[in-house]
Structure 1
């Protein structure tokens, strides 16, 4: 069972860009909660408390207990708009969660024991994390906050695929239902010299040089 995470909000009646600007000046965040059997509702949250919550991984991938005017409802964060260069959250979208309906959520991956593995200990081996999160489907009660990958046995040449993940009960990877070609790599351990050798062997400079020579001939 995932840990409960509570955030507080209050309803608001003023809408539009002007109202949103006033809220931000008052250190609040305009937001909306939608979905389920209820109509979409405009809400507002305290910026400082929400900003601190947003520094945690669970804020983006866990079911949140949204305390709205004293009544708690289960929601998922579906969108966050940030200021382009200031540490300001501009807007949030929350979706109500039905306990009896499956949800589709991106869950972070936690890589364990990489430094203890043969690949992690080798000086000439690079361990690449091709994915940092995966999309899962499950009932809300089964949603994990993260999925762990034990890399303690990882050696050079090993590839960890989606199908290698050990999923909690009731959790599925919808990507795997699309075919074997969607069983993509999550972790790759390879020699660090491979990229250098490939770069040396690739005749990348021949094409530009030929184009330059051709242009010189045209000028003559």
Structure 2
């Protein structure tokens, strides 16, 4: 688990009007909840958060949220959190609101972790013409202690051949990490990657084309010599 920090400040006024004023001033309203403590309203610099949101880790890593102590400039409290919701403007490059959930480091957490696919282009399937390699999943739900949470999982496709399938159970997991879905039985060992022959649309024969014209009611010109 890498160390990732986000800096925030306490937020006083709340409500739609206060949130609009906050956004106009270049801040993003956010909230921290969960655990034994009450929810806390905070604000984060929009441009910095927008830049952070471009990173994959932001959506799956445990984050150190540093919140400036109210009335004590230069002092901050640190809380381990996970991103739980991020609301964006429908068409502007603007983050509207963020929800963070507190993480108890003594309890296991469940997080959807992204998959990174390796060696696809150099695999037998990847080098074969007419073969389509499909990623049936792009992320997988894992369970682990916060300290063991991986930012992503790698799926090595070096040996993938035509007709091959990579299942959930074939993903190599770091120590202390498991996939809860696999505990539900063999039927839940879903395909993560498949390699299939691409379908080739059969060309229409002249007779097939004529049949379509007859069915549509359009006249067919007689062929010379008939």
Into which bin does the TM-score normalised by the smaller protein fall? 0.7 to 0.9
Corresponding residue number in structure 1 for 2:181: 175
1:28 pairs with 2:27: yes
CA distance in 2, matches of 1:10, 1:159: 48
Alignment of 1:66-85 (within 5 A): 66-69=65-68, 70-85=76-91
CA distance in 1, matches of 2:19, 2:110: 30
CA distance in 2, matches of 1:71, 1:174: 33
CA distance in 2, matches of 1:143, 1:195: 45
Q: CA RMSD in A?
A: 1.5
Unaligned runs of 5+ in 2: 69-75, 204-214, 216-226
Corresponding residue number in structure 2 for 1:144: 150
* Bigger helix fraction: 1
Q: Which runs of 4+ in 1 moved over 3 A?
A: 194-197
Secondary structure of the residue aligned to 2:21 is helix
Number of paired residues? Answer: 197
Unaligned runs of 5+ in 1: 198-208, 210-220
Alignment of 1:12-161 (within 5 A): 12-69=11-68, 70-161=76-167
Q: Larger Cα Rg: Structure 1 or Structure 2?
A: 2
CA distance in 2, matches of 1:186, 1:86: 34
Residue 71 of structure 1, CA deviation: 1.3
Secondary structure of the residue aligned to 1:78 is strand
Residue 194 of structure 1, CA deviation: 6.6
Secondary structure of the residue aligned to 1:115 is coil
Residue 38 of structure 1, CA deviation: 1.1
